[in-house]
């Protein structure tokens, strides 16, 4: 049985095509692909030439380096350093919490003639609106990472704080009897 030997150019082409599809392919994966493409068992001389091309021409170093870089990126994204709050989350928290300590309110108690009590807090209203804007902006930036639940929970807290401050600032919580005037 006569076998056609594979040229170095054909070996190089298999290496390049395999690395284009899978940039982190190992020598074994490239060897398997060549065996499948040729439809026969590879000659030991061909395997040795393939290994020389893969190793000596720098393809192996590039594939190993990329695999190492991918592993490092994955480990970094799974670490807690990515669980740090974003600027939008921190801004939303600050604008939702500040109205608990700073007030600029006007209140009028109920009159005997039946007029309802009114309440308005400009700081709570503006802080709530800003917190809602930050919260919605942060929600649109949440990425699928292992820390996604943390960012979703923090964003939900910002949106809830914002909604609470808006309701408080408009005096709706006072009208429902949750808060009392004066």
What is the number of alpha carbons within 13 Å of residue 125 lying toward its C-beta?
Answer: 11
Asked if the structure places residue 180 within a domain, the reply is: no
- Give pLDDT, residue 2: 44
* Same-domain pairing of 44 and 107: no
Regarding whether 39 and 121 lie in a shared domain, the answer is: no
Is 123 among the domain residues? yes
Please name the residue ranges forming H helices in the chain: 8-21, 27-38, 44-56, 59-78, 87-97, 122-140, 148-170, 172-175
Structure tokens at 95: 């604008």
146-161 tens-digit pLDDT? 778 888 899 999 999 9
| pLDDT (average), residues 76-104 | 82
Q: Could you give the dihedral angle defined by the CA atoms of residues 153, 155, 161 and 167, in that order, rounded to the nearest 10 degrees?
A: -120
The range of the structural domain enclosing residue 155 comes to 80-175
Give the percent of the chain with pLDDT over 90: 23
pLDDT score for 125:
92
Averaged pLDDT of the chain: 78
Whether 63 has a pLDDT exceeding 80, the answer reads no
Residue 1: per-residue pLDDT: 41
Q: Phi/psi at 91 (nearest 5 deg)?
A: -65, -40
Q: Is 72 in the same domain as 114?
A: no
pLDDT per position as a tens digit, 10-62 = 777 777 787 777 777 777 887 888 888 877 888 788 888 877 876 776 666 66
Checking if the pLDDT of 129 tops 90, the result is yes
pLDDT at 56: 73
**Total tally of structural domains belonging to the chain:** 2
Determine the average pLDDT of the residues in 127-139. 93
Q: Which of 1-5, 10-14, 69-73 has the lowest mean pLDDT?
A: 1-5
The string of pLDDT tens digits covering residues 158-177 is 999 999 999 988 888 877 77
């Amino acid at each position: 049985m006569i076998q056609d030997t594979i040229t170095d150019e054909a070996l190089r082409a298999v290496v390049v095509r395999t690395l284009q599809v899978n940039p982190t392919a190992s020598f074994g994966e490239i060897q398997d692909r060549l065996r499948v493409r040729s439809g026969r068992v590879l000659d030991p001389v061909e395997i040795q030439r393939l290994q020389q091309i893969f190793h000596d021409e720098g393809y192996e170093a590039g594939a190993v380096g990329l695999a190492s870089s991918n592993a490092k990126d994955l480990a970094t994204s799974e670490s807690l350093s990515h669980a740090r709050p974003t600027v939008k989350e921190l801004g939303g928290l600050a604008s939702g919490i500040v109205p608990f300590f700073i007030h600029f309110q006007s209140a009028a108690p109920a009159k005997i003639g039946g007029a309802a009590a009114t309440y308005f807090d400009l700081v709570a209203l503006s802080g709530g609106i800003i917190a809602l804007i930050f919260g919605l902006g942060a929600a649109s930036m949440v990425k699928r990472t292992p820390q996604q639940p943390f960012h979703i929970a923090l964003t939900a807290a910002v949106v809830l704080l914002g909604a609470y401050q808006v309701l408080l600032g408009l005096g709706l919580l006072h009208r429902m009897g949750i808060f009392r005037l004066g």
